Amino acid sequence: GLPQQVTVYEVGPRDGLQNEAAIVPVEVKAEFIDRLADAGHKVIEATSFVHPKWVPQLADAEQLLDRLHRRPGVRYPVLVPNERGLDRALERGVDEIAVFASATETFAAKNLNRSLESQFEMFEPVVARALENGVRVRAYVSMCFGDPWEGPTPVSQVVAVGERLLGLGCYELSLGDTIGVGTPGHVTALIEAFTSPDKLAVHFHDTYGQALGNTLAALRAGVTTVDASTGGIGGCPYAESATGNLATEDLVWMLRGLGIETGLDLDKLVATSTWLAARLGRPSPSRVVQALAKG
Ligand code: HMG
Ligand code: MG
């Protein structure tokens, strides 16, 4: 069966803007987030407290958080890789963070400058200290389906990394298809290999056009939280073959068609996507936004 309700976890301001060639002004980022909240989003991943040299696009994380118009009932999680990042987030009064692990050795080295094993030494004190401070922690696992250097990722390897993160006390585990190579059968097999599908979210990049099909497979397997980005912008600067995320508007169109409640206003999402596209100087990549623009 399918769920009656789905939580859309919006990653546009973080995953989307981390991969833009141009640096987006902090005022535009703050307005973007405001518009997303206005469209009904209850969880908006705002930015990253990573090393500013590694992701210069998000080097203004402090300034952005100072400008956020926080609304009651809306969560604004931020990415945090290590204790330095946690210190920065705590100084800004953040109450939800996300750590991000790799399922593969090569991507752990490229994205985190760590080995598959030593990434946990980095995350353990982050999660422990966050929880002590009343901060909720989400965890991502990247390269869950395949990796540009190592090929297909074994299901057992993803489950081992993921269960270990859940064991640290993370409230949710988002399964990342960083380079978009997953297909629905693989999605079902991966989700079924976990002991608690209710703690899983899915994070599909749409490189091979599989993101909506994969999402449907995940919903049928019991997942009720789906990551998406405005217009489908996004990618990972440390995985060249990564392209954009599943577009929020395309996801909401499908869910609406299935009669699944999201609490989101599609017209406002489309208007925000068009507004952002103008700021980025190119059309929204979302198929739904393009189709609606033609009337
Ligand atoms: P490192 O070079 O190993 O860092 O990088 P270090 O711990 O050796 O520290 C070196 C220096 O950096 C020190 O300064 C630290 O203080 C400073 P020094 O003492 O030499 O003056 N430093 C920091 N400064 C500010 N903020 C920090 C920070 N950390 C250290 N947080 C590190 C390790 C993890 C920092 C680096 O590899 C990094 O920043 N990586 C982030 C890469 C990234 O953001 N990738 C994109 C997000 S992941 C993604 O997109 C995938 C996802 O969407 C899911 C999917 O699609 O699969 C989530
Ligand atoms: Mg991503």
> In this predicted model, what pLDDT tens digit does every residue of 248-281 receive, in sequence order?
999 999 999 999 999 999 999 999 999 999 999 9
Rounded Cα distance between 266 and 245, Å, is 18
Residues 6+ apart with CB under 8 A from 38: 268, 272
Per residue in 169-193, pLDDT (tens digit) is: 999 999 999 999 999 999 999 999 9
d(CA 84, CA 65) in angstroms, rounded, equals 17
In the reported structure, the alpha carbon of residue 52 is separated from the centroid of ligand 1 by a whole-number distance in angstroms of 8
The per-residue pLDDT for 242 is: 80
User: Is residue 15 lining ligand 1, measured as CB closer than 6 Å?
Assistant: yes
For residue 207, the model assigns a pLDDT of 95
Output the pLDDT for position 241: 76
Residue among 45, 51, 99, 174 whose CB has most ligand 1 atoms within 8 A, to mutate: 51
Asked if residue 112 has its Cβ within 6 Å of ligand 1, the reply is yes
Protein residue whose Cα sits closest to atom 11 of ligand 1? 51
176 CB within 6 A, ligand 1 = yes
Q: Which candidate in 33, 236, 252, 254 is catalytic? A: 236
- Range 86-112 burial, b when 16+ CB lie within 10 A, else e: bebbbebebbbbbbbbbbbbebbbbbb
Residues 6+ apart with CB under 8 A from 111: 100, 102, 142, 236, 238, 239
170 in catalytic set: no
Pocket test for ligand 1, best of 49, 50, 129 (most atoms within 8 A of CB): 50
- ipTM of the prediction greater than 0.95, yes or no: yes
Determine the angle formed by the axes of helices 118-132 and 105-112, rounding to 10 degrees. 60
